[in-house]
């Protein structure tokens, strides 16, 4: 089966990497070329800074992409349109049997649309469209990702879900049950692999870890950071918390564009004596995967609006406060360590105090978040491949 995997933005790389490895492991056990996968990797270039893209190729041992589309930033229509135009050419040239997209970013939706409409270009045959992390719904259509999820799932032929709510959402939307496969969470595969190999280490950041502990913050949702008044309130609340316990915040480029006067720590200075001497809110550049996981697993708590970080903190058992009204990942709240605070920064201090008093739930890892999701995906795809021979 010739299958194109699409990555475009930061949270895509840790989802593709375990699938890539599982495909290689499957191929190694096949005697016939017919039953092997022939994977190709396309990087759309939605994220392009070295610390939003290249670092993940290194940390996750991903191969160089077969195609780098270099689409860059733009409005939603510009970015989606540019990915569609560039990806259509790849489809016409490669005529794949299948296209795999992950998550909910613009690149995911754009490649799903191009794939679903490429019948003539690919020799009067539409490739199978595979969506990994299907069915997640926040119920909030102001969130660009929710539109991407709805469109991608409506078009996909094979839908892999990470939690029961995903499966139920798809069934409610009329997706035939035989298309839906609950496989667990590939992002957790990457996380557990990094822990097993002792790669997720905070050694580099030990000088930043005082005996009081520290909190970790990531914010990049437009609903938080593109609203200047709200961002000012959030930063003020974080600075208040930082008076008692240091907060480290790797700053996403979208957030950096709105908050350029952050009190930044230069990463090169982490191992030297030029470190902050007092508690406070300190910015860091976006971190590589291993550095970020290292900092996250040792944190006393996490404040975030990231989808992936809600999941990872649940698996790591680290208390997580999510500055959003909703989550498309409800299992992180019902089973994990996550609490939804709404867009209500003034309530942050009270929640952090609860955590520091040890009054937080301990949580557990959700079903199927066990490090083997990619293997389950590959075995479903292998069966589909057999059926097509
Ligand atoms: C995108 C995804 C979001 C995901 C996030 C992960 C969509 C609609 N949004 O949001 O779901 O949670 O990625 O991080 O697909 N920029 C840079 N360098 C980069 C990338 C972006 O400077 O390498 C800046 C640009 O000014 C750009 C802005 O960040 O305009 C936003 O980037 P974009 O990819 O449009 O959306 P994200 O906010 O990153
Ligand atoms: N992450 C990282 N460095 C950072 C911040 C996050 O490696 O500085 C990782 C994080 O561990 C998770 C993924 O990026 O695996 C989440 O991506 P992001 O928050 O950008 O997107 P979302 O999940 O919200 O779509």
Closest ligand, as measured to the CA of 218 = 2
Averaged over 83-92, what is the pLDDT? 98
Residues 218 and 175 in one domain: no
Run of H or E including 304: strand 301-304
Contact 281, 242 (CB under 8 A): yes
Does some domain include residue 299?
yes
Contact 23, 39 (CB under 8 A): yes
Averaged over 55-73, what is the pLDDT? 98
- Nearest C-alpha to atom 14 of ligand 1 is from which residue? 10
Spatial distance between the Cα atoms of 85 and 74, rounded to a whole number of angstroms: 14
Closest CA to 30 of 40, 41, 38: 38
pLDDT at 382 over 90: yes
> Residue 389: pLDDT band by 50, 70, 90 thresholds?
low
- Nearest C-alpha to atom 12 of ligand 1 is from which residue? 306
Between 296 and 277, name the one with better pLDDT.
Answer: 296
Ligand 2: residues with CB < 6 A are 10-11, 14, 218, 250, 286-287, 289, 292-293, 306-309, 312
- Looking at the structure of the chain, the number of domains it has is 2
Q: Is 269 helix (H, G, I), strand (E, B) or coil?
A: helix
Contact 49, 286 (CB under 8 A): yes
pLDDT at 266 over 80: no
pLDDT at 275 over 60: no
Contact 319, 313 (CB under 8 A): yes
Contact 248, 215 (CB under 8 A): yes
Run of H or E including 346: none
pLDDT at 95 over 50: yes
Does some domain include residue 196?
no
pLDDT in tens, 276-295: 667 789 999 999 999 999 99
Specify the pLDDT at position 359. Answer: 97
Residues 45 and 180 in one domain: yes
Q: How many CB atoms lie within 10 A of CB 357?
A: 8
Q: Is 385 helix (H, G, I), strand (E, B) or coil?
A: helix
Distances (CA, A) of 235 to 208, 214, 348: 20, 16, 11
Question: What are the tokens at 247?
Answer: 């907060």
Could you please report the per-residue DSSP string of 20-68?
HHHHHHHHHT-SSGGGS-EEEEEE--SS-SGGGTHHHHHHTTPPPPSEE
Query: Which residue is listed with tokens 């942050």?
Result: 348
Specify the pLDDT at position 277. Answer: 61
Residues 292 and 250 in one domain: yes
pLDDT in tens, 174-222: 999 999 999 999 999 999 999 999 888 777 777 777 778 999 999 999 9
**CATH number of the domain to which 58 belongs:** 3.40.50.2000
Residues 300 and 273 in one domain: yes
Does the C-beta of 257 come closer than 6 Å to ligand 1?
Answer: yes
Does some domain include residue 34?
yes
pLDDT at 161 over 70: yes
Residues 376 and 351 in one domain: no
Specify the pLDDT at position 211. Answer: 78
User: Cα angle at 293 between 72 and 76, to 5 degrees?
Assistant: 20
Specify the pLDDT at position 263. Answer: 79
How far does residue 294's CA lie from ligand 2's centre (Å)? 13
Spatial distance between the Cα atoms of 312 and 382, rounded to a whole number of angstroms: 28
Q: Is 281 helix (H, G, I), strand (E, B) or coil?
A: strand
Question: What are the tokens at 300?
Answer: 């006393």
Closest ligand, as measured to the CA of 251 = 2
pLDDT in tens, 312-357: 999 999 999 999 999 999 999 999 999 999 999 999 999 999 999 9
Does some domain include residue 197?
no
Residues 171 and 207 in one domain: no
Task: State the number of CA atoms in the 13 A half-sphere of 148 facing the CB.
Answer: 22
Spatial distance between the Cα atoms of 138 and 307, rounded to a whole number of angstroms: 11
How far does residue 60's CA lie from ligand 2's centre (Å)? 13
Closest ligand 1 atom to residue 108 Cα is 15
How far does residue 351's CA lie from ligand 2's centre (Å)? 23
Residues 309 and 378 in one domain: no
Residues 351 and 381 in one domain: no
Does some domain include residue 194?
no
Beta bridge partners of 4: 40, 99
Distances (CA, A) of 2 to 124, 181, 211: 16, 21, 52
Specify the pLDDT at position 273. Answer: 47
Phi, psi for residue 191 in degrees, rounded to 5: -60, -50
How far does residue 218's CA lie from ligand 2's centre (Å)? 8
Residues 381 and 277 in one domain: no
Q: What percent of the chain has pLDDT over 90?
A: 88
Residues 166 and 233 in one domain: no
- Nearest C-alpha to atom 6 of ligand 2 is from which residue? 292
pLDDT at 365 over 90: yes
Average pLDDT of the chain, as a whole number: 94
Residues with Cβ within 8 Å of residue 181, at least 6 apart in sequence: 158, 159, 160, 161, 376, 377, 380
- Nearest C-alpha to atom 31 of ligand 1 is from which residue? 254
pLDDT in tens, 34-54: 899 999 999 999 999 999 999
Does some domain include residue 350?
yes
Q: Bin 363: left if φ > 0, else alpha if -120 < ψ < 50, else beta.
A: left
Spatial distance between the Cα atoms of 268 and 191, rounded to a whole number of angstroms: 25
* Ligand 2 pocket: which of 59, 105, 292 to mutate (most atoms within 8 A of CB): 292
Spatial distance between the Cα atoms of 247 and 289, rounded to a whole number of angstroms: 19
How far does residue 10's CA lie from ligand 2's centre (Å)? 6
Does the C-beta of 147 come closer than 6 Å to ligand 1?
Answer: no
Q: Active-site residues: which are they?
A: 220
Does some domain include residue 55?
yes
Does some domain include residue 364?
no
Residues 148 and 13 in one domain: yes
Q: How many CB atoms lie within 10 A of CB 367?
A: 14
Domain extent at residue 153: 2-184+370-387
Closest ligand 1 atom to residue 104 Cα is 11
Residues 377 and 340 in one domain: no
Spatial distance between the Cα atoms of 51 and 194, rounded to a whole number of angstroms: 18
Closest ligand, as measured to the CA of 17 = 2
Could you please report the per-residue DSSP string of 58-118?
HHTTPPPPSEE-------HHHHHHHHHHHHHHHHHHH--SEEEEESSSHHHHHHHHHHHT-
């Amino acid at each position: 089966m010739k299958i194109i995997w699409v990555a475009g933005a930061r949270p895509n790389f840790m989802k593709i990497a375990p699938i890539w490895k599982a495909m290689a492991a499957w191929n190694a056990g096949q005697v016939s070329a017919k039953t092997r996968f022939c994977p190709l990797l396309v990087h759309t270039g939605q994220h392009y800074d070295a610390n939003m893209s290249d670092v993940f190729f290194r940390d996750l041992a991903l191969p160089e992409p077969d195609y780098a589309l270099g689409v860059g930033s733009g409005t939603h229509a510009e970015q989606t349109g540019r990915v569609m135009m560039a990806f259509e050419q790849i489809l016409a040239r490669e005529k794949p049997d299948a296209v795999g997209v992950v998550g909910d970013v613009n690149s995911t939706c754009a490649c799903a649309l191009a794939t679903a409409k490429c019948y003539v270009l690919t020799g009067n045959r539409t490739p199978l469209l595979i969506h990994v992390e299907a069915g997640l719904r926040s119920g909030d259509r102001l969130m660009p990702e929710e539109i991407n999820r709805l469109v991608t799932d409506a078009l996909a032929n094979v839908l892999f879900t990470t939690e029961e709510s995903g499966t139920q959402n798809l069934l409610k939307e009329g997706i035939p049950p035989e298309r839906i496969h609950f496989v667990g969470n590939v992002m957790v595969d990457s996380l557990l692999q990094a822990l097993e190999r002792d790669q997720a280490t905070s050694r580099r950041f030990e000088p930043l870890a005082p005996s009081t502990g520290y909190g970790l913050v990531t914010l990049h949702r437009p609903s938080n950071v593109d609203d200047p008044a709200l961002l000012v309130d959030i930063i003020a609340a974080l600075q208040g918390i930082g008076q008692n316990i240091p907060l480290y915040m790797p700053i996403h480029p979208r957030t950096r564009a709105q908050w350029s006067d952050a009190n930044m720590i230069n990463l090169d200075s982490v191992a030297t004596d030029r470190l902050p001497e007092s508690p406070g809110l300190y910015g860091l550049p976006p971190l590589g995967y291993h550095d970020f996981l290292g900092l996250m697993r040792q944190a006393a708590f996490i404040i975030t609006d990231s989808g992936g970080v809600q999941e990872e903190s649940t698996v790591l058992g680290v208390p997580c406060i999510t500055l959003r009204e909703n989550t498309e990942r409800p299992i992180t709240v019902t089973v994990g360590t996550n609490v939804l605070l709404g867009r209500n920064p003034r309530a942050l201090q009270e929640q952090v105090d609860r955590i520091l008093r040890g009054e937080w739930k301990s949580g557990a890892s959700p079903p199927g978040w066990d490090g083997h999701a990619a293997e389950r995906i590959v075995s479903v795809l292998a069966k589909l491949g057999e059926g097509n021979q």
